Amino acid sequence: MEDTKVLITGGTGFIGSNLANTLAETNDVIALDNGYLGTPDNLNDDVEYVEADVLDDDLPTDVDVVFHLAALSSRQMLEENPRQGARVNIEGFINVVEQAHADGCDTIVYASTSSAYGSRTEPSPEDMDLEASTGYDASMLGRERYAEYYNDFYDDLAVAGARFFSVYQGYGGNEGHKGEYANTVSQFTDEIANGQSPVLWGDGSQTRDFTHVDDIVRGLESMADHRLNDVYNLGTGEPYSFNEMIELINDALGTDVEPEYEPIPLENYVHDTCADITKIREATGWEPQISFEEGVKRVCEPYLDE
């Protein structure tokens, strides 16, 4: 993508700021955020920052492409404030799409979720049955249903959803502001580097399809470039257990910190995730380039430089 005017909602957040900084090298990028979780400190100087809410009128949607990443983005956030979560995640999506379309934008890529697949050790294809077992799942699946409507109703609009799988970068990148909402790779690395035992739920055998944010950024860009109008997994298809993750972190840091184990405190806990990325590969040629071993090394590097 080059010489394109781009709006990224949630643009100062973890994924949004990485996308904004990358695209701003060759494009005119606006990062819009209300400051709820992100921080403009994540943005490079060549990104235009606009403080606004996705529920506002008169958003800066006179652009060529919108990446709609703004959301209350966790199960916990929706349980604490379900009405606001639904407003932001569904009504905010509708508000952005409506304003963008009215301003002549024809390409929208939005964040959905992979958690609606539930717990699966086999690769999850996009066409399998989904279940909204949490309010967060329900709100993001609401986005997908509205996107279906927009794709059917407007011939001149392409709206594509990305189901992210366990995106990480580490506190040395733009993930530090997330704190307790950061990926477990980042949280556990920080704890082990500081001599603290990470707490794992269950016996540590749960698996995640950990995907480095650089690969996610490339995936989002490819979805916009190809003007897709469906829902696509962005993952690796190669899950690792939490126990394996701890071992990789210790190897990278040269430490030997043992984890602690506690009973799983949640109902409907997703024990395993794994993406089937056949659809996005066939549609755009995208596939992940950063192995989990390499990704963990990148997360650990800032601690080795201290």
Q: Looking at the annotation, which residues are catalytic?
A: 136
Closest by alpha carbon to 216, among 112, 89, 87?
A: 112
Q: Please, which residues bridge with residue 29 across strands? A: 6
Task: Pick left, alpha or beta for residue 172 (phi over 0 → left; psi -120 to 50 → alpha; otherwise beta).
Answer: alpha
Alpha carbon distance 40, 38 (integer Å): 7
- Residue pair 201/263 in contact by the 8 Å Cβ criterion: yes
Closest by alpha carbon to 13, among 190, 189, 140, 182?
A: 182
Q: What angle do CA 270, 272, 277 make, to 5 degrees?
A: 115
Neighbouring C-beta atoms of residue 177, cutoff 10 Å: 17
Strands (E), 39-101: 48-51, 65-68
* Strand 240-241 versus strand 207-208 pairing type: antiparallel
What token pair was written down for 180?
Answer: 């307790």
* Strand 48-51 versus strand 65-68 pairing type: unpaired
